[in-house]
Chain A
Amino acid sequence: MSALLLILYVFLIIVSYKGSIFILKKTDLL
């Protein structure tokens, strides 16, 4: 379980960055 939490932690940061770019493009802010 600890390993899963730490893997998801790294995923959270990567997906947040990628997701931000995706939404910025959708809203014509990028």
Chain B
Amino acid sequence: MLDVDLSMVNWARAQFALTAMYHWIFVPLTLGLSFLCAFFESIYVRTGNKEWKSITKFWMTLFGINFAIGVATGIILEFEFGTNWSNYSWIVGDIFGAPLAIEGIFAFFLEATFFAVMFFGWNRVSKNFHLFSTWMVAVGSNLSAVWILVANGWMQNPVGMVFNPETARFEMQNFFEVIFNPVAVSKFTHTSSSGFLFACLFILTISCWYLIKERHIEMAKKSIVVASVFGLLSSAYVGFTGDESAYEVAQKQPMKLAAIEGLYQGEKNAPIVAAGILNMDKQPGDNQDPFLVKVEIPYLLSLLANRSFNSFVPGVDDLVYGNKEEGIEGVASKITKGKQALNDLAQFKQARKEKNKEKAEQSLTRFKTNQDYMGYGYLNKPEDAVPSIAIPYYAFHIMVALGTFFPILFIAFLFFSLKGSLTQTKWLLPIGLISSLLGLFAQQSGWVVAEVGRQPWAINGLLPVHVATTNLAARNVQITFFMFLGLFTLLLIAEIKIMLKQISIGPEEGK
């Protein structure tokens, strides 16, 4: 067994989570606000009304402040692959590195180039070219997200590659299979549109503040209408892509689905848990009830997971200990095969070193029969294949509850806007004011579901996280963890202060 400092693994995970969660405060706002700025400027170019230009420039200024800090945290994330996850970078760098490189030299350069025109090109380039630049920033920002989510989708569902036993690395075999990985497509569309939704909530928050303070009322009302239409349609699309993402999880990562539903005993006609409190003492294989209390919707989980009411949805126990009736292999047998594969791989390497061709070929043939289970060879016991149940379960249910609330909020804002009584609807404005905080909570919950639910794997089924880290002493990561915590907190405070200053100036004075 590998001699790994587990505290190093946990600190490396904590540092990556810290950086990713800070990064994800800024990114969804960039994804959505870029398109909203394009909408506002399109209306300005279409109408020639200077008020729309002032509205565009106001939201564009907030977009620019946010964009800068999003870039800073994103660059640190990429460096962490090298510093804390060098084994990961070595083993899968040929595949994982490609989309990250494309994101940097293609999508990011596209958005950065047009970003300069968008910001500094007012009155220097034609109206139409400026508008084109704004749209290109929106397209470029979301193209960046495509490549990052192709990389993340590959971690959840590794496709399009082969393992090279001579170098002990995975090598890309089919680039298009990696790009059009169904997990990556559903992940991109779900994540990007949730960014649209979050940006719409951000606009609601600031516009509601203006309406409560009775300042810039016309600008706030116009912004609310555009944000509510985009937000409502995005909410519907987020729900649709969320369903598709859950289906892909059920097919490719059944353990993650079991975790987010707190499902231990698989069943046909499986109900979905609409709400419930987990029994924290419950362990895989014991006879305790997983829930202290729960409310279920009959049959719905089978339908969501397999598109069929009476299909079988495996639980944690089925996946860990196997279920012969349903043809599910237990983890213990996978661990045995995995250890055999690792042993054969070591013998293959030794035989090549000794230039013993015959022995090398025999070892390689044996290795290939079990190589799909190689990752399991690094696990000690079957229960090691189970992620935290409570964290993905609660994060998923918070995300879904908030995702159900947001379209109702957008409908309310549209209803009172159409009625012409939005400024008199005093109860609604404070809800709009805090809505972006709720949106941020939903955003972070989504990533917690995706990444905590993937544990113990860095690459699903192939590479556990404890094998993916750099062989460092934990204190090295601890030092940079607290350094980044301080730095990111300062950046966040700086962003909020600059934004608040800009918001207090408002659109008219800001033009």
| A interface, CB within 8 angstroms of B | 1-2, 5-6, 8-9, 12-13, 15-17, 19-21, 23-24, 26-27, 29-30
Task: Knowing A1-B244, A2-B180 are in contact, say whether A16-B193 is a contact too (CB < 8 A).
Answer: no
One of A2, A9, A20, A21 near B237 (C-beta < 8 A) = A9
Is B152's CB within 8 Å of the partner chain A? no
Q: Which of B192, B196, B221 contacts A29 (CB under 8 A)?
A: B221
A1 to B415, CA, bound (A): 33
Given the known inter-chain contacts A1-B244, A19-B233, please indicate yes or no for A6 contacting B185, CB distance below 8 A.
yes
Of B193, B229, B234, B241, the contact of A20 (CB 8 Å cutoff): B229
B residues sitting closer than 8 Å to A (CB atoms) are: 35, 39, 42-43, 46-47, 180, 182, 185-186, 189, 192-193, 196, 218, 221-222, 225-226, 228-230, 233-234, 237, 240-241, 244, 414, 417-418, 420
Closest residue of A by beta carbon distance from B237? A12
Determine whether the beta carbon of B234 is less than 8 Å from that of A21.
no
Q: Known contacts A1-B182, A20-B226, A27-B420: does B237 contact A13 (CB below 8 Å)?
A: no
Distance between Cα atoms of A1 and B243 in the complex (Å)? 12
- Which 9 residue pairs are nearest across A and B when measured between Cβ atoms? A2-B185, A16-B230, A20-B226, A20-B229, A19-B229, A5-B189, A29-B222, A12-B237, A16-B233
Residues of B within 8 A of A5 (CB): 185-186, 189, 241, 244
B234 & A12 in contact (Cβ 8 Å cutoff): yes
Inter-chain contacts of B185 with A (CB < 8 A): 2, 5-6
A-B contacts besides A9-B189, A24-B43, A27-B417, 4 pairs, CB < 8 Å: A2-B182, A5-B185, A15-B233, A23-B414
Residues in B with CB closer than 8 Å to A9 are 189, 192-193, 237
User: Of B42, B186, B237, which one neighbours A17 at CB under 8 angstroms?
Assistant: B42
| Contact partner, B193, options A1, A12, A17, A23, Cβ 8 Å | A12
User: How far apart are B180's CB and chain A's nearest CB, in angstroms?
Assistant: 6
Asked if A17 and B244 sit within 8 Å, CB to CB, the answer is no
Q: Are A6 and B39 in contact (CB under 8 A)?
A: no
Residues of B near A1 (CB, < 8 A) are: 182, 186, 244
Give bound CA distance, A23 to B415, whole Å: 11
User: Chain B residue with minimal CB distance to A17?
Assistant: B39
Known: A17-B39, A30-B47. A24 touches B226 (CB 8 A): yes
- What is the bound-complex CA distance between A1 and B190, given in angstroms? 13
**Contacts A/B (CB < 8 Å), 13 sampled:** A5-B186, A9-B192, A9-B193, A12-B196, A12-B233, A16-B229, A16-B233, A17-B39, A21-B46, A23-B414, A27-B225, A27-B420, A29-B221
Nearest residue, chain B, Cβ from A15: B233
Contact A16 B234, beta carbon cutoff 8 Å: yes
CB distance from A18 to the nearest CB of B (A): 9
Contacts of A26 in B (CB 8 A): 418
Beyond A5-B244, A8-B240, is A23–B417 a contact (Cβ under 8 Å)?
yes
Residue of B nearest to A24 (CB): B225
Complex Cα–Cα for A2 and B42 (A): 29
Q: How far is the CB of A2 from chain B (nearest CB, A)?
A: 4
Shortest CB distance B366–A (Å): 37
Tell me whether A13 and B35 are in contact (CB under 8 A): yes
- Bound-state Cα–Cα, A21 to B240, Å: 24
Q: Which residues of A contact B192 (CB under 8 A)?
A: 9
Closest to A21 in B: B43
Known: A27-B418, A29-B225. A20 touches B186 (CB 8 A): no
B186 touches A2 (CB 8 A): yes
Residues of B close to A24: CB separation below 8 A: 43, 222, 225-226
- In the bound complex, how far is the Cα of B241 from the Cα of A6, in angstroms? 10
Cα–Cα, bound, A17→B234 (Å): 12
CB contacts (< 8 Å) of B47 on chain A: these are 30
- A15: chain B residues at CB < 8 Å are 233
B180 / chain A contacts, CB cutoff of 8 Å: 2
Question: Which residues of the partner chain A approach B46 to less than 8 Å between Cβ atoms?
Answer: 21
Contact B189 A16 (CB under 8 A): no
A27–B46 Cα gap in the complex (Å)?
Answer: 18
Q: How many angstroms between the C-alpha atoms of A8 and B344 in the bound complex?
A: 48
Indicate the member of B221, B222, B226, B234 with the most A CB atoms within 10 Å.
B226
What is the distance, in angstroms, from B360's C-beta to the closest C-beta of chain A? 41
B28 to chain A, nearest CB (A): 15
CB distance from A10 to the nearest CB of B (A): 10
Whether A16 and B39, one on each chain, are in contact in the complex, defined by CB atoms closer than 8 angstroms, is yes
Q: Which residues of chain A are near B39, meaning CB under 8 Å?
A: 16-17, 20
List B contacts of A29 (CB < 8 A).
218, 221-222, 225
